[in-house]
Amino acid sequence: MIFTATPQGLCFSLVSEEILSKTKIVDLSADFRIKDVATYEQWYGLKHGAPQFIKEAVYGLCELNREQVRKARLVANPGCYPTCTTLSIYPLLKAGLIDPQSIIVDAKSGTSGAGRGAKVANLYCEVNDTIKAYGVATHRHTPEIEEQLSYIAGEPVVISFTPHLVPMNRGILITAYANLKRTVTYEEVRAVYDAAYGDEQFVRVLKKDAVPETRWVKGSNYVDVNFKIDERTGHVIMMGAMDNLVKGAAGQAVQNMNLMFGLPETTGLMQAPMFP
């Protein structure tokens, strides 16, 4: 069992038939997340070095692809934004209640999402007591999210995705907007969420009107989701909160490993959230 957490493009040379014949790999980079090679190459500015493994690689969003992960030799561990965004939107998109072409995702991330490199932009005094958008309309997680939403919708989905840098260490908050296809009740939508996640151990559907907050998932593998119907506008607001370093990275990698080895899915992952 190997976890690879390399810069983009480096995992190509690490994956081979010889290695996969001997062990399983969970890759935390983006190299095998996107099925469409051209899309990968366009957004990452790289030539894909091992396209022969793309088809085999399973996108390791456990809640959606559990059975494929169990049988996989090579798992592409999802990005942090794609994990939280996809899980936030999945129930209503799957149920056909929202217009797939109307989705707008406004994302907020703590600073650990930027890595530990010594860059001026990530210095304490640059990040503390301020907020900004970044990568507006150009963030590399956009095509990864779009591919997943397209599978769910059964049609090509294009989204508007705008991430923001927040003065906090950990955490991702997704606020996603979409047009409802028709009038719905709270109870109807709630039933859709419960059906989608009722059996999930790491996705918690919050009570009515409770909002996901990153503090309630910090340090844990949980994703908290909820929704709000805006009757005045015909929108639904779908929200999700997650720890980018756990469910958004290492935690989900362990979750994938557990599935690949037939272990209980929660093994090593039941650490409680830490507040404050």
Contact residues: its own copies, CB under 8 A: 104, 106, 108, 110-112, 116-120, 122-134, 136-137, 158-160, 162, 164, 166-171, 173, 175, 177, 211-215, 218-219, 228-230, 232-233, 235, 237, 239, 241, 271, 274, 276
Q: Which is nearer to its own copies, 190 or 215 (CB)?
A: 215
Q: Which is nearer to its own copies, 179 or 201 (CB)?
A: 179
Selected catalytic residue, list 11, 62, 80, 84: 80
**Does 80 qualify as catalytic in the annotation?**
yes
Four-point Cα dihedral 38, 44, 47, 48, nearest 10: -70
d(CA 29, CA 60): 12
Bridge-based pairing of strands 235-242 and 172-179 is antiparallel
Q: Which is nearer to its own copies, 14 or 168 (CB)?
A: 168
Query: Is 214 within 8 Å of 171 (Cβ atoms)?
Result: yes
35 burial type by CB count under 10 A (0-12 exposed, 13-18 middle, 19+ buried): middle
The minimum distance between CB 148 and its own copies, in angstroms, equals 17
The minimum distance between CB 52 and its own copies, in angstroms, equals 29
Q: Which is nearer to its own copies, 35 or 228 (CB)?
A: 228
- Of 204, 206, 202, whose CA–CA distance to 220 is shortest? 202
Bridge-based pairing of strands 235-242 and 223-230 is antiparallel
d(CA 254, CA 269): 8
Residues with catalytic annotation? 80
